[in-house]
Homo-oligomer: A and B are copies of this chain.
Amino acid sequence: MPQKVRIALDAMGGDHGASVVVSGAALSLVRHPDTEFILFGDEAVVGPLLAAEPKLQAAARLVHTDVAIKMDEKPSQALRHGRWKSSMWLALDAVKRGEADAAVSAGNTGALMAMSKFCLRTLPGIERPAIAALWPTLRGESIVLDVGASIGADADHLVDLAVMGSAMARVLFDLERPTVGLLNIGVEEVKGLEEVREAGRILREAQPPGMEYLGFVEGTDIGKGTVDVVVTEGFAGNIALKTAEGTARQIAQYLRAAMGRTLRARLGYWLARQAFETLREKMDPRKANGGIFLGLNGIVIKSHGGTDAEGFAAAIDLGYDFARYELLAKITRSLSQYKLGSADVVAMGGVNP
């Protein structure tokens, strides 16, 4: 990898568009001065914003396009009208052409996934990419995947998710053998979906290198941090993620209401405000912003569409880390080791003697 980390930004994506992207890049650049940016977007919009951030401007190049993908566009529509020329496509294409080490977009998830598959293609042996999320837990952070790239998963896809997720955990959490659990609705071996049970059987028997498979976990285990990597199919994973976000917001609102109700409570709040600040930081969804697209020939980070500059900066930071620590190469190596391993096993007569 070249000395600097080069990040391609879809400057037109997200609910708030270029202003959040440019301010986010400026924030991230302070934390990682060894970053170079290529911004793709409308010069008339992005240019003035960039001019207002001289340090960023010095580390950035702006490539003009007047095509932008709308937040509510269907993936097929987006591909039809935005391929080759939209800000989203051009950011991905910069990764493909080796001009950038990672692409970051706050644009429409479905369109970004469709374009990523089309532009970057999936890794050998991977049919469907996944979206991985970093989940704050009582023990630190865990990786949860898939949180919505595709609906339904057979046992082999769940095993691929376990292999990719554990490779990511090794890089990001600096662990030799991250623990892995399959999300299910009961910890007993008898319960749950047939595919989840089958994936559990494969992982137990194949013991893929570089991970420790611990069995089934339940929804309550995610926040506890019972395992480093929680593997699930995308429908249930997305619902888990959004339900946790909703619950956190709900409790924050209860807390605000309770603390404002009486003078005594307000005084108590004022005295304990430092503690509340700590709590707010712990619960800050911007810190864990960024879904990572796994299984592609390139690093793509999806920021929340509605995030602010701080949240977008967190998504860029993630892209930076992955490029700097060569996540992609490590995932590819893990996958090919695992696939090779299972091919050996198959050649020897299958994993079931």
Contacts and interface: CB of A to CB of B under 8 A. Distances in A.
Interface of A: 72, 74, 110, 137-138, 148, 151-152, 183, 185-186, 188, 190-193, 218-224, 232, 234-236, 238-251, 253-255, 258-259, 261-262, 264-265, 267-276, 278-279, 282-283
A247 B272 contact: no
Contact of A219 (B186, B245, B258): B245
Contact of A238 (B185, B247, B270): B185
B261 A268 contact: no
Nearest to A252: B251
Given A72-B188, A264-B271, A258 B243 contact: no
Interface of A, helix, strand, loop or mixed by DSSP = helix
Contact of A258 (B220, B239, B270, B279): B279
A191 B130 CA distance: 16
Contacts of A138: 250, 253
9 contacts: A74-B188, A138-B253, A219-B245, A220-B246, A240-B243, A244-B244, A244-B246, A255-B255, A258-B279
A332 to B, nearest CB: 28
Contacts of A188: 72, 74
Contacts of A278: 258, 261
B190 A234 contact: no
**Residue from A239, A240, A249, A254 with most neighbouring chain B CB atoms (10 Å):** A239
A255 to B, nearest CB: 6
